[in-house]
Amino acid sequence: MGQLLEDRFGRVATDLRVSLTDRCNLRCTYCMPAEGLDWLPTDQTLDDDEVVRLITIGVRLLGIDEVRFTGGEPLIRRGLVDIVRRTHDLGGVETSLTTNGLGLHRTAKALAAVGLDRVNVSLDTVRPDSFAQITRRDRLDDVVAGLAAAKDAGLGPVKVNAVLLRGINDDQAPELLRWCLEHGYELRFIEQMPLDAQHGWHRDAMVTAKEILAALEAEFVLTPAAEPRGSAPAELFTVDGGPGTVGVIASVTRPFCGDCDRVRLTADGQVRNCLFAREESDLRAALRGGASDEELADRWVTAMRGKRAGHGIDDPTFLQPDRPMSAIGG
């Protein structure tokens, strides 16, 4: 290994989030409009060999030891299983997937067979009517089947990511936790962030970690988990004495930027040093222009130097990034 992806504040990125597509087969209201978005043209999207080349540079030259595939919806990327296999075969790298779970019941075994370690499945509610209201699709059964298949395939611990929305599912936190505990899934609530395509996020409307914990504590005994949190975004709690746990990712009200070890690669080959970055570094143009692995690594290292100390959501000067979450890779 040559260099590290270190920023000016001494943080070193070792966890790479790779977006494999900006497209999605759900239309979650807090993420994108009903009609979808202007998707990236295919020729601007990295092909499988290009994605694997950049991942290889990250792992072999820059100290990346964890790769999470995301999107958009990564399960709709045709080459997913092969990309995971080639990433796993690099050796010494943990691989995971963040997915909405649609179709996971068909692919879970194949993904486990090529070396995928874990999955996070997004599920905001276990009520069919709320699911259809939030995602604008009637597909709750598919997600539930995908979760079960992931567990059977050994892609655990299977985590569930949930966003609570005021007036829609904000009264469902204990119900969702009970369901996850019964099924052996680790639930994480994520505070809603200003990353929606419609720019409809309002700080006063978002459901805070404090509210989520209060709702859970009305029905469960939560004890802060003993193990150190490290760079993990979730604050973990043991539920009713364990072994079940629940996590809260308070990106807005209790930011954890000081411990951030993440860097992102978009489906069109742009390095982003933060979810909320306003600048990107174009590795696709360099790669297609004939740059060597070392030159691409140097560009990547330079991109990390510009990482800001924090996301700045509370700054009066905060500006939401141009790309929505679905196009960055959540």
Ligand X SMILES: C[S@@+](CC[C@H](N)C(=O)[O-])C[C@H]1O[C@@H](n2cnc3c(N)ncnc32)[C@H](O)[C@@H]1O
Contact positions vs ligand X (CB under 6 A): 24, 30-31, 70-71, 73, 98-100, 122, 161, 163, 190, 192-193, 195-196, 325-326, 330
Name, in order, each residue with C-beta under 8 angstroms of 123's C-beta and a sequence gap of 6 or more: 101, 143, 147, 160, 161, 162, 176
Write the Ramachandran bin of 242: left for phi over 0, alpha for psi from -120 to 50, otherwise beta.
left
How far apart are the C-alpha atoms of 242 and 181, rounded to whole Å?
10
Alpha helical stretches, state H, the chain: 48-62, 80-88, 104-113, 128-135, 140-152, 173-183, 209-217, 283-288, 293-305, 325-328
Least distance to ligand X from the beta carbon of 130, Å? 14
In the beta sheet, which residues pair with residue 265? 18, 271
Least distance to ligand X from the beta carbon of 7, Å? 23
Least distance to ligand X from the beta carbon of 296, Å? 25
How far apart are the C-alpha atoms of 117 and 97, rounded to whole Å?
8
Q: Shortest Cβ contact with ligand X: which residue?
A: 330
In the beta sheet, which residues pair with residue 98? 120
Q: Which is nearer to ligand X, 24 or 126 (CB)?
A: 24
Least distance to ligand X from the beta carbon of 31, Å? 4
Least distance to ligand X from the beta carbon of 210, Å? 17
Q: Which is nearer to ligand X, 20 or 112 (CB)?
A: 20
How far apart are the C-alpha atoms of 47 and 83, rounded to whole Å?
10
In the beta sheet, which residues pair with residue 190? 163, 249
Q: Which is nearer to ligand X, 95 or 287 (CB)?
A: 95
Least distance to ligand X from the beta carbon of 2, Å? 31
Q: Which is nearer to ligand X, 255 or 306 (CB)?
A: 255
**Is 93 in contact with 66 (CB distance < 8 Å)?**
yes
Least distance to ligand X from the beta carbon of 162, Å? 7
Name, in order, each residue with C-beta under 8 angstroms of 159's C-beta and a sequence gap of 6 or more: 118, 119, 120, 121, 185, 186, 187, 188
**Three-state secondary structure of 262-283:** EEEECCCCEEECCCCCCCCEEH
Q: Which is nearer to ligand X, 72 or 269 (CB)?
A: 72
